[in-house]
Amino acid sequence: MRPEELKKLLTQTGYDRDDRDDKAELLALLRDSYRFSPGFTGRVLQAIGNQAPAVRLNDLEARMVSLFLRVALSGAAAIIVLAVSVFISGGTLSFDSLLGIGNSSVESMICLLSGN
């Protein structure tokens, strides 16, 4: 649309006017002012058809993923802190020290587990 035509349309659609009798003329001017090049519709529809469908998570799934990441990261941090504290207190990081059985003998473990 040329600037002159746009200026004419803008002056015709002013809000300070009281007469609105020429609506049909204004609509005709607006309808005839937009012309697209030949094949425009086909190119647009082809471009839309070529796009890959977007995979979007719905709101619940996005919240669940966010919650899982928060819990997993805090759990991993807690495991690391506990392993470091066991290493510092026991001096070693063996499976026995992680379970807290340290220097206990087998007989004392059986006694503790059996309740005698």
User: Domain for residue 10, yes or no?
Assistant: yes
Most confident of 9-18, 61-70, 83-92, 97-106: 61-70
Q: Is the Cβ–Cβ distance between 34 and 1 less than 8 Å? A: yes
Nearest alpha carbon to residue 97 among 111, 82, 110, 76 = 82
* Residues 71 and 106 placed together within one structural domain of the fold: yes
* Residues 45 and 72 placed together within one structural domain of the fold: no
Structural domain total, the chain = 2
CA distance 94 to 109: 18
Model confidence pLDDT, tens digit, residues 35-93: 778 888 888 888 887 777 666 667 888 889 999 999 999 999 999 998 888 778 777 77
pLDDT of the residue at 54: 67
Most confident of 16-20, 29-33, 83-87: 83-87
User: Domain for residue 91, yes or no?
Assistant: yes
User: Domain for residue 93, yes or no?
Assistant: yes
pLDDT tier at 16, thresholds 50, 70, 90: very low
pLDDT tier at 32, thresholds 50, 70, 90: low
User: Domain for residue 57, yes or no?
Assistant: no
* Residues 40 and 73 placed together within one structural domain of the fold: no
User: Domain for residue 74, yes or no?
Assistant: yes
User: Domain for residue 59, yes or no?
Assistant: no
pTM strictly above 0.75: no
CA distance 4 to 16: 20
User: Domain for residue 58, yes or no?
Assistant: no
Owning domain of residue 89: 67-114
pLDDT of the residue at 20: 57
* Residues 72 and 35 placed together within one structural domain of the fold: no
Tokens of 25: 């003329």
Distance from chain centroid for Cα 99: 40
